[in-house]
Amino acid sequence: MRRFLYVIVFLFLSVALFADGVTFTGKAPARVGVGQRMQVQYTLNEKPSSIQLGNISGFKCVGGPSQSSSSSVSIVNGSMTSSNTYTYTYTLEAVSEGTYTLEGAVAVVGGTKYTSNSISVTVQKEAVQQQQRQSSYYDPFEDIFGSGNSRQQQQQQQQNQPKQTVASDDVLLRIFSSKSSLAKGEGTIITIKLYTAIDLVSIEDFNPPKLNNFYMEELETDQNLRWTRETLNGKTYNVAVLKKYLAFPRVAGKVDIDKAEIKCMARVVSGRHPFWGYTYDNAPVSASSNALSLNVASLPQEPVGYSGAVGKFNISLNMPTDTVSVNDAVLCKITISGSGNFNNIESPKISCPKEFEQYEPVVTSKLNASESGLSGSKTWEYTIVPRYGGSFNLGAVSLVYYDLATKTYNTISTEPIIVNVRKGSGDASASTIYNSQTGVEVINPEDVRFIHKGDLNLVAAYSPLMLSGLYWLIILAILLIFIVLVVVLRKNIKKRQDVELMKRQKASKISRKRLKNARKYMQTNNQTDFYKKIITALWGYASDKLSIPTSQLTKDNVMQAFAEHNIDEALSKQFVDLIDKCEFAHFVSGSGNEMSAIYEETTGIIEQLEENMR
């Protein structure tokens, strides 16, 4: 009887303690192998506004947090009480051997910070066979009254009971495209949906498809999955949108979309207690998406100057002033606005004569990606410096695009760029100075001498400069210098007119600028913009260095161009694999160390390519 009273008092104290405060606990496997992944779960009885991992030395986070919640209601003597449980699951991968302590995670509930317990995990060399958790129940009154089933008996009974299995169509992953047939460069909405007919505890891993043959913009979706009900093949599912993209195909023909894959943890029935009801267990389940192909039609014969723009666009020119002095900078802002695949629009070209010096433009984008398409504006700000005076007509800037509505190519142009340059002091002709003398009024008699009629023995004080060898040597040197300058200047002008050559020579410089911007995002832990800049730097370097137009920039073309430049196949494959790695990391959360490694690898590959392609 005394033991029974102790149990009752203990239960009441436990309920009181848990009812008065926030509980925050974490759990993880005690052992794991190097390179093996494990799940770390943090459970709270109140919903936090934010949660953050502590120090996870010895591990790297490869997924999470995935969220799940449950609630229970009990009625005792007409009094109803309810409780909620919120679970956050992270997926960690062991990096090296040793015994590590995962510091407590920090959660904010009602403006107050709470820290969970720390967890000790031993990482060994060999992989650890993970045991499925056995769902069991325990009758606490068995020890008191000596009746019922003990814990050991219940576990033995559950081991003999078959667990409920997950059917192959209980969890499905589907990819949909808003258009099955479209033109090259036309936008389509690609949606990835998760269908489930069973309860899911968490999403362990999700690999979206690699849209290699598309320019894509990820559309915003709810971070917390929003579930709806749909019927598919006569079966009712809970459905959530995992990812949604606005994609523009870069190639024509039959374009295949890679399969997506997902791994989840499902809640299944493992047994039944005669009094307490069903018991549950977690079971892993995985699914792959359907195969999807799009029919991409080629555009009509491309006119001269077409770079792949598809949509509806306008172009405008803005110059603060058209009259400046020699060596003063002139700002020209060219803005292209509208809707379409802005990614295929190349930088407008200003035809500057040799009297001008032109610098790389500063590009500003104000674009909005939505289900209706990609719209907004993109501005190129050019700085040109005139070196000589005069009036110059630099011509108009044009854009050729394909209009899907009329199925024709349209050309839009700005007004001509006219620059009036005032002449500076260096352009003025030197004035000629004339000297004159007036007559002499008084002459001293001593100034007049008789004419000497004999030999004066006169000696020439100097010889004409034109008869000296030094004069002709100087003339010859000036002539040679002039010829050399003319040859060098003509070669330089011809070189500047070769746009592709200038791009190849400046490819490394431009990529360093882009990597510098990516480094800023890495330092602020802005993963989305960091990976966008890294991908832009890699594709931009390949386009400029290999003279591949943006509309033809694919991985196969890049590999072929590297082979033509005698680049080692392993190095070119490393370059393409790095693009895949960045595109994958763009959709999966990573650590600062991973961003730093990708940044260092990108810098190293570009430096190796520069050395091999000199």
Which of 178, 180, 375 is closest to 297 using CA atoms? Answer: 180
Look at the chain and report how many structural domains it folds into: 4
Q: Name residue 268's amino acid.
A: V
**Cβ neighbours of residue 301 under 8 Å, at least 6 residues apart?**
none
Which of 527, 583, 238, 178 is closest to 370 using CA atoms? Answer: 178
Q: Do 577 and 547 meet the contact criterion of CB atoms below 8 Å apart?
A: no
Whether 33 and 98 share a structural domain = yes
> Using CA atoms, how far apart are residues 607 and 571, in angstroms rounded to an integer?
11
Whether 320 and 358 share a structural domain = yes
Domain annotation covers residue 106: yes
DSSP 371-395: TTEEEEEEEEEEEEEE-S-EEEE--
Write the CATH number for 373.
2.60.40.740
Low-confidence ranges of the chain (pLDDT < 70): 1-20, 71-82, 127-165, 271-278, 424-450, 452, 460-463, 495-505, 586-592, 614
**Cβ neighbours of residue 506 under 8 Å, at least 6 residues apart?**
360, 544
Q: Do 496 and 564 meet the contact criterion of CB atoms below 8 Å apart?
A: no
Q: Do 506 and 499 meet the contact criterion of CB atoms below 8 Å apart?
A: no
CB atoms within 10 A of CB 142: 15
Tokens of 279: 């018991």
Q: Name residue 541's amino acid.
A: Y
Number of residues that this document lists for the chain: 614
Tokens of 85: 């449980």
From residue 150, alpha-carbon distances to 139, 141, 144, 438 in Å are: 7, 9, 11, 139
Domain annotation covers residue 507: yes
Domain that holds residue 315: 311-425
Instruction: List phi, psi (to 5°) of 143.
Output: -70, -25
pLDDT confidence of residue 77: 52
Whether 283 and 357 share a structural domain = no
Whether 81 and 175 share a structural domain = no
> Using CA atoms, how far apart are residues 596 and 149, in angstroms rounded to an integer?
57
Whether 125 and 27 share a structural domain = yes
> What pTM was computed for the model?
0.45
Domain annotation covers residue 464: no
Q: Identify the domain boundary among 297, 324, 353.
A: 297
Domain annotation covers residue 458: no
Is residue 293 within a helix (H) or strand (E), and if so which, with residue range?
strand 292-297
Whether 586 and 543 share a structural domain = yes
**Helix, strand, coil shares, percent, the chain, to 5:** 30, 40, 35
Whether 84 and 108 share a structural domain = yes
Domain annotation covers residue 556: yes
Beta bridge partners of 277: 273
**Cβ neighbours of residue 139 under 8 Å, at least 6 residues apart?**
148, 149, 150, 154
pLDDT confidence of residue 129: 58
Write the CATH number for 201.
2.60.40
**Cβ neighbours of residue 408 under 8 Å, at least 6 residues apart?**
402
Q: Do 24 and 115 meet the contact criterion of CB atoms below 8 Å apart?
A: yes
Whether 178 and 108 share a structural domain = no
Whether 264 and 317 share a structural domain = no
Domain annotation covers residue 484: no
Q: Identify the domain boundary among 232, 265, 297.
A: 297
Whether 413 and 511 share a structural domain = no
> Using CA atoms, how far apart are residues 229 and 237, in angstroms rounded to an integer?
6
Whether 286 and 332 share a structural domain = no
Where do the H-state alpha helices sit in 273-346?
none
Domain annotation covers residue 138: no
Q: Identify the domain boundary among 268, 297, 326.
A: 297
Instruction: List phi, psi (to 5°) of 152.
Output: -65, -40
SS (HEC) of 390-413: EEEECCCCEEEEEECCCCEEEEEE
Whether 102 and 72 share a structural domain = yes
> Using CA atoms, how far apart are residues 285 and 202, in angstroms rounded to an integer?
10
Which of 396, 393, 423, 191 is closest to 305 using CA atoms? Answer: 396
Domain annotation covers residue 139: no
Write the CATH number for 40.
2.60.40.10
